[in-house]
Structure 1
Amino acid sequence: MTKVLVLHSVSLVRSALAALLRSEGNFEVTTTGWRTTPRRAEFLRPDVAVVDLDCPGAAAALADGGRAARVVFDPSTPLLVLAASGAPGSLRRAFQAEALGYVDKNGSPRRLVRAVRKVAAGERFIDASLASAFMEADPVPLSPRELSVLARAAEGDSVAEIARALHLASGTVRNYMAAVTRKTGARNRIDAIRISRRAGWV
């Protein structure tokens, strides 16, 4: 029995994905939101973790090269990401976080099932429709730490909240945000978030 942990911020989507996988018979599926993931992952020790790149929480977990994701999951847990071909920047983040599987969210349900089986067996899976998006992904001009700060800012965290979460001084967080604004050519923090979201970096 393959143990699968499905992460999504929307309960209805989590349930639908779980129902799809369970209908295939040999998957033991557990679902969770990002806040409860560490406890669930520690208890379940999944064979595969399925993560939607568009979910709040995914950007923050993958922004620093996947170090936060590796706190959430055991480093040996293979990641399978659900992605859209129109967001090459998020695919690059997932690749840097060493995700093993990449499934196009606009593809068929059978592709997800096949991908879970392959990733659980330790094999790489990349939807053909995502291959061109990988090639189109421009290098991200921000450092992993700048991305982690920006990802949390994009979720609405204050400077103080970001500082606590990342174990930084508030002044350091402001310095990172100033660097992000400069590197993206943005006018301010809001503009930097908009530009980075459009590029798929957060």
Structure 2
Amino acid sequence: MVRVLVVHDAGLLRSALVELLRTDPALEVTSTTPSDCLRRTGRHSTPGTGDPSVDVRVVDGDCMASCDRCEAVPGAQGGPPGRDPGLVVLATPEQPGLLRRALDAGALGLVDKNASRRHLITAVHAVAKGERHLDASLAFALLDATAPPLTHRELRVVTLAGQGAPMDEIAALLHLSRGTVRNYMASAIRKVGARNRMDAIRIVRDAGWA
């Protein structure tokens, strides 16, 4: 029996994924939200200290694309009990940056959201055995995956702004002056070719860089 944990923000979609996976009698499926998963594992979990009750985590890529939530699902390399659970990420070809982040987080399985139910179940079984699974439609997108043109600090400023934090709060969180934060935002807007701050936030999110 393969023990699977579905991680998703939206309750309806989370339930749908659970029911889909439960059509395979060889899968024992539970679910949680990214925040609950973070509380269970700890933000600073390290390889080898993952949840021993789970073999594979199935995570929607959009959960990884906000609030650095990829930290809620520690990277995994599969393998015997005692290691972190294997990681399967659901994504689309339109977000090559997100695909790259998923790989950097240790994902062994990348499944196209538009693929059939069988693709996801096959990926779960492969990852449970420590094998890789990559849908062909996502393989081509990965060829286009590039590092974001922003520095870490610029990306952090845009990410926090996208979460609704005002400039004063961003400055306090990053221990910077308000003027420095403004400069980082202006630089980010210029580098991604955005019209304004909101456009920069949209571009960064759509690319899966944050």
Residue type of the partner of 1:59? S
1:26 aligns with 2:32: no
Greater Rg over alpha carbons, structure: 2
Counterpart residue number, 2:115 = 107
Of 167, 173, 177, 1:171 maps to: 177
Residue type of the partner of 2:4? V
Within-5 A mapping of 1:1-202: 1-41=1-41, 44-45=51-52, 46-55=54-63, 58-61=65-68, 68-69=71-72, 72-73=73-74, 76-159=84-167, 168-171=174-177, 174=181, 176-202=184-210
Instruction: Describe the superposition over 1:156-175 as per-residue Cα deviations: whole angstroms up to 9, x where unpaired.
Output: 344566577xx632538825
RMSD (Å), alpha carbons: 2.8
| Cα gap change, 1:85 to 1:177, in 2 (>3 Å) | same
Q: Which segments of 5 or more consecutive residues in structure 1 lack a partner in the other structure?
A: none
TM-score normalized with structure 2 length = 0.76
| Cα gap change, 1:139 to 1:58, in 2 (>3 Å) | closer
Q: Percent identity?
A: 50
Q: Which segments of 5 or more consecutive residues in structure 2 lack a partner in the other structure?
A: 43-49, 77-83
Q: Distance in 1 between matches of 2:209 and 2:75?
A: 24
Question: Which has the higher mean CA deviation after the structures are superposed, 13-22 or 141-150?
Answer: 141-150
Tell me how many residue pairs correspond in the alignment. 193
Instruction: Describe the superposition over 1:115-171 as per-residue Cα deviations: whole angstroms up to 9, x where unpaired.
Output: 01111111111001111111122332123454344334323344566577xx63253
Residue 50 of structure 1, CA deviation: 1.2
